[in-house]
Amino acid sequence: MPLLALTLDLDDTLWPVGPTIARADALMWQWLARQASATHAARDDATLRALRSEVARERPDWAHDLSALRRETVRRALLAAGDDPALAEPAFEVFFEERQRVALYDDVLPALARLAARWPLVALSNGNADVRRVPGLAAYFRAAVSASELGVGKPAPAAFAEACRRAGALPANTLHVGDDPALDVDGALDAGLQAAWVQRSDALSGRRPRGTAQHEVSRLDALADRLGV
């Protein structure tokens, strides 16, 4: 089918997400050390993981809202330590602002410029990065679809359908680009899209999609080459 639009995953497709989250989390806890010393002193990774699991069990409706899960986990940590739970909101904002300061892979901006000159691009992510706030990205994207906004994330067909709607193209005429074999490749194929599997050198190995992506590349510029732009 003729290609009329692209949808793109963000984390680990346009930038490595691990270092970004670690840095944002560290900055948030530095802020909490000044504003909620008891919570900072009581910080324990195992306890925080247990709190997050507790929140996830109690609020299955937040399964695709990573911001809500993190915010509520911090609120409960504040409560447990005797600090003001209202500090959860500004603490999260410290995290969220830093979470947008990503280190793009070196091929991303040149490739996005080439792709966006030919097709409308729509971001489609289960994470809480915002292409409107990431420096240098907004100009390349027609729209962005997040799981937290939509209430459902990849690999649900509804997530891909909404991204295609915002791109103005049918699924069969849309190529989804992402790194995750299940969420991105199989999710896109099952929803009727074409798929490009971006296998970064630092990606987890040993996982392959059930289906066959139309393109397998290690860099976005290689995809642009294959698409002839």
Give the pLDDT confidence of 34-62 residue by residue, as tens digits: 999 999 999 999 999 999 999 999 999 89
Looking at residue 182, what is its pLDDT? 95
CA–CA separation, 180 and 157 (whole Å): 15
**Percentage of the chain modeled with pLDDT above 70:** 98
pLDDT (0 to 100) of residue 77: 97
pLDDT the model gives residue 64: 87
> Is the per-residue pLDDT at 225 higher than 90?
yes
**What value does the mean pLDDT take over residues 5-32?**
96
Per-residue pLDDT at 172 exceeds 60: yes
> pLDDT for 93-126, tens place per residue?
999 999 999 999 999 999 999 999 999 999 999 9
Q: What is the pTM of this model?
A: 0.90
Q: What is the dihedral of CA 190, 224, 111, 148, to 10 degrees?
A: -10
Average pLDDT over residues 62-83: 94
Angle at the Cα of 156 from the Cα atoms of 155 and 159, rounded to 5 degrees: 100
CA distance 99 to 162: 25
221 Cα distance to chain centroid: 20
Domains and CATH numbers, the chain: 5-16+103-227 (3.40.50.1000), 18-99 (1.20.120.1600)
Residue 202 has pLDDT above 90, yes or no: no
Mean pLDDT of 162-188: 97
Sorting pLDDT into bands at 50, 70 and 90, what band is 63?
confident
